[in-house]
Structures are given as structure tokens and as C-alpha cells.
Amino acid sequence: MSKKHRAYIPIVGSIAALSLSLYMKDLLKMQLTTDEKTAIYNGNIILQPNSKILAITAHPEDLALFIGGTLKHLAKRNCDITIINVTNSKKGVDLTNLTQIRQSEQTKAANRLEVKDVRFLHLPDLHLTKIKDIEPILKNILLDIKPDIIFAFDFLYPFKALKHPDHVSIGQMVHKASSVLKNTKCQIAFYASCKPNSIVDIVTTLEEKIAAVKCHQSQLRFGEDLCERGIRRFAKYSARHTLLHYGETFRLKKI
């Protein structure tokens, strides 16, 4: 792939970037760091019933895309799930009222996944690296919710094709803020990781995941078909070193 294409991918949005990267030369380079049995065991730690879950994202569509199948499992297991959308998501496509559109898309997607608590922090897009006061906001949320599992973007080993500055900043900030939960049983499940140690079988939740991603209509630059094929291919790619058909992978880490 040319340098021009590489530079382009991070700004077309995660859904398009992911779909494209799977059709290009293995841009994700994801490799399980454990054997299959351990990865499945770790995946089951994430799926504990009746637990408190906090899923944090820079941009609305990233959650359905990376953890939609897992969130659906957790909702079915009676977990108490909160989604935090950090940015106002004003940038990306040329639409007026983009913030409101993406907020409404996220609410629809969360409904598909049976998540009721969806919050928006409305911080500016692409400026997170400059925002110093987000850490206390995140700490307050963490202390209020006291989650068992936090989902956040992997800042240490992100997918090359999706190394958006907001993704990396948010992952870093969540990791830093999570120090307030030291000495609790809380763990962070980093998503979009090149070096995952956990896998969740999403064969029974894949269709709902696809439906949730499609709720983000403003982000489907290349249409629903490519998006759907991209998601199926990604789920297959994620499970490729296991006996599972479709998976979502995480780097699970104690605080």
C-alpha cells in the first residue's frame, strides 16, 4: 500500500478504516499473546454475570464495532452497563448537527445492545491530548460506578490502521484514572489491541453487533454492504487462531 493510503485510513472513520484494512495488507497485525485455552478463560472473566461494566469511547461507533458482541452478551447476563462517549464527535463528515446525529445514532445502537445508561461528555474532537482536566472527570465516574470491568481503547498496542490520537489519548487517560480503583477487583479490557490475551465468542451476538454498527449511518462511508462484510471478516480474523468462528478480542489487565 502506498504511503498516501496509509495516511488516509485514520481519518475516514473507524468503520471504513477497519473494512478497508481487512481488504488491504493485514494492517491490523493482531496476534494473541496467550494460548487459545487461556484466551477463552480470560474472555469468560470479562463475561461474569451481574457485574458492573463501564465502556469508554472517544467516538460513538467504536464501541459497537469493537465490543458490540461482548456488550450484548453482558446485557443478557444481567450486567449493569454504562457507556461514556467522551468527544462531541463534530468532525469526520460534512454534516450540520453532526454531534446530535451521532448522539442519536449511539442511543439507537445502545438500544440494540440493550444498554440503557449512555452518557456524553461533549469534549472537543481531536483536542483530547491538550485537555488536562479530563482525568478528574474520569476518576469521579470510576469512583461513582465502581466497575468490575472497564473497556477502553488500547493505547499501548493499538491497531496501526486505527491509531487515531483521540483513541490513544482516551485509553491512556482511562488507564491513568483507573489508579483510583487500585486494590479492587476491577480489570481493564483494552479493545482494538494488537496484542490481546482474551477472546469472547460472539457467534450468537454477531447479528446484533452488525445491526448496532449499522445504526451509525453517518459513518457508513462505503455503504452497509462493505460495512457488514468488514465486520464479519474482522470477527473471523479475530478468532483465526482459535476454534471459534467469530470473536472479539481484548488485552485484559489488572489495575
216 counts as binding Zn ion under rule CB under 5 A: no
The nearer residue to Zn ion, 57 or 187, going by C-beta atoms, is 57
**Under 8 Å between Cβ of 32 and 199:** yes
**What one-letter code names the amino acid at 201?**
D
Length of the chain, in residues? 255
In this structure, the dihedral spanned by the alpha carbons of residues 218, 157, 186 and 207, taken in order and rounded to 10 degrees, is 40
The nearer residue to Zn ion, 14 or 42, going by C-beta atoms, is 14
6-25 binders of Zn ion (CB under 5 A): 14
Q: Which three cell numbers stand for residue 239?
A: 478468532
For the bound state, the minimum distance from the C-beta of residue 59 to Zn ion, rounded and expressed in Å, comes to: 3
* 235-to-46, 221, 240, 242 alpha-carbon distances in Å: 17, 20, 9, 12
The residue whose Cβ lies closest to Zn ion is 59
Q: Given its phi and psi angles, is residue 89 left (phi above 0), alpha (psi -120 to 50 degrees) or beta?
A: left
Size of the site for Zn ion (CB under 5 A): 3
For the bound state, the minimum distance from the C-beta of residue 43 to Zn ion, rounded and expressed in Å, comes to: 23
33-92 binders of Zn ion (CB under 5 A): 59, 62
B/e letters for 160-180, b = 16+ CB within 10 Å, e = fewer, are ebbebebbbbbbbbbbebbeb
The nearer residue to Zn ion, 59 or 214, going by C-beta atoms, is 59
The nearer residue to Zn ion, 47 or 194, going by C-beta atoms, is 194
248 counts as binding Zn ion under rule CB under 5 A: no
For the bound state, the minimum distance from the C-beta of residue 57 to Zn ion, rounded and expressed in Å, comes to: 7
B/e letters for 123-135, b = 16+ CB within 10 Å, e = fewer, are bebbebeeeeebe
The nearer residue to Zn ion, 38 or 104, going by C-beta atoms, is 104
The nearer residue to Zn ion, 11 or 24, going by C-beta atoms, is 11
Q: Which three cell numbers stand for residue 29?
A: 497485525
For the bound state, the minimum distance from the C-beta of residue 70 to Zn ion, rounded and expressed in Å, comes to: 17
102 counts as binding Zn ion under rule CB under 5 A: no
For helices 60-76 and 98-112, the axis angle rounded to 10 degrees is 20
Binding site for Zn ion (CB under 5 A): 14, 59, 62
